C-alpha cells in the first residue's frame, strides 16, 4: 500500500501523488573516522544497508551480493554505497576499515559508518524501514533484516531488495540504471 497525498492535476481535476519515504539529515563517523553527512551523497543515488562486522549469518551473503553490484558500477561516480554497523559496542571505525579492506573495498564510493545506538537504530527503523534490534537471546547479540535500500538523489526510498535473495539482487542491479536515467531527464 503506497502512501499518497491528494493533488490537483494541471487540468484542474483531482488526483493522487505518491508520498515517498525520505531519509532525514544524518551525521555519522565513517571508516576513516571522518564525519559524513547527506552532503556526501548529494546528487548521487546510493544503496544503504545495516550489518555488523562479526555477523556470520546473512551479512556475508548481503555483502557478497552488494560487492558484485559495487564492481558493476565501479566506474559510475553517481552510484554510492552506505553500510551502517548496528554493533555500536564493537565496530569502531578502525574495525570498519579493516572489514572494508578485507572485503576488497577501498575509497569513498562505499562508506561504512558507525554511530550511537539510538541514531543508527532510529535511522534503520524509522527512515530506511529496516528492522534492527539488539537481542541478548541471539547468539550474536543482534537481529536485523538484510534489505538493500535504494535511495534517489532527493533522499527518497525508491526500492528495497532482500540482499540474501539472488533474484531481488538482480532486480536491484536492473533498477539502478533506470533510476539513473530518470535523473538524467
Partner 1 sequence: MRKLLIFSTVLLTLISMLYSCQTAEKVEQDAYYVNGRDIYIAQCQNCHGEKGEGLAELSPPITDTVWMKKNRSLLACIIKHGYATPVTIHGKVYEGKMPDFNMADIDLTQIIVYVTNTFGHKQGKYTTEQVAKDLQNCK
> Which stretch in 37-45, 50-58, 79-87, 120-128 sits in contact with partner 1 by CB under 8 A?
50-58
> Which stretch in 2-10, 39-47, 59-67, 81-89 sits in contact with partner 1 by CB under 8 A?
59-67
Q: How far apart are the first and last CA of the chain?
A: 28
Binds partner 1 by CB under 8 A, chosen from 61, 134, 170, 179: 61
Binds partner 1 by CB under 8 A, chosen from 102, 174, 184, 185: 102
Site string for partner 1, 9-28 (x = CB under 8 A): --------------------
Closest approach of partner 1 to the CB of residue 129, in Å = 24
Q: Which residues contact 83 (CB under 8 A, 6 or more apart)?
A: 48, 49, 50, 51, 63, 66, 110, 111, 112, 113
DSSP summary character for residue 103: H
> Which stretch in 58-66, 87-95, 129-137, 150-158 sits in contact with partner 1 by CB under 8 A?
58-66
Q: List, in sequence order, every residue forming a beta bridge with 5; answer none if it has no partner.
A: 17
Count of CB atoms within 10 A of residue 8's CB? Answer: 9
- Integer Cα distance of 96 and 101 in angstroms: 9
- Integer Cα distance of 111 and 175 in angstroms: 21
Site string for partner 1, 75-94 (x = CB under 8 A): --------------------
In contact, 132 and 147? CB cutoff 8 Å: no
101 is a site residue for partner 1 (CB under 8 A): yes
Binds partner 1 by CB under 8 A, chosen from 40, 63, 84, 155: 63
In the complex with partner 1, the residue whose CB is nearer, 5 or 102, is 102
103 is a site residue for partner 1 (CB under 8 A): yes
Q: How far is CA 89 from CA 4, 40, 106, 116, 118, in A?
A: 39, 25, 24, 9, 12
Binding footprint of partner 1 on the chain (CB under 8 A): 54, 56-58, 60-61, 63-64, 67, 99, 101-104
Amino acid at each position: 500500500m503506497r502512501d499518497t497525498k491528494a493533488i490537483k492535476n494541471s487540468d484542474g481535476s483531482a488526483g493522487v501523488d505518491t508520498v515517498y519515504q525520505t531519509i532525514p539529515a544524518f551525521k555519522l563517523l565513517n571508516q576513516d573516522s571522518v564525519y559524513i553527512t547527506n552532503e556526501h551523497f548529494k546528487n548521487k543515488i546510493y544503496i544503504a544497508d545495516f550489518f555488523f562486522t562479526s555477523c556470520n549469518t546473512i551479512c556475508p551473503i548481503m555483502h557478497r551480493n552488494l560487492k558484485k553490484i559495487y564492481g558493476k558500477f565501479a566506474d559510475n561516480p553517481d552510484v554510492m554505497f552506505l553500510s551502517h554497523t548496528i554493533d555500536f559496542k564493537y565496530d569502531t571505525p578502525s574495525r570498519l576499515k579493516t572489514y572494508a579492506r578485507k572485503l576488497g573495498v577501498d575509497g569513498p564510493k562505499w562508506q561504512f559508518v558507525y554511530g550511537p545506538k539510538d541514531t543508527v537504530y532510529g535511522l534503520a527503523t524509522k527512515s530506511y524501514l529496516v528492522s534492527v534490534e539488539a537481542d541478548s537471546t541471539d547468539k550474536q547479540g543482534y537481529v536485523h533484516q538484510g534489505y538493500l535500500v535504494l535511495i534517489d538523489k532527493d533522499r527518497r526510498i525508491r526500492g528495497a531488495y532482500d540482499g540474501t535473495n539472488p533474484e531481488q539482487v538482480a532486480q536491484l542491479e536492473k533498477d539502478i540504471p533506470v533510476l539513473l536515467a530518470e535523473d538524467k531527464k
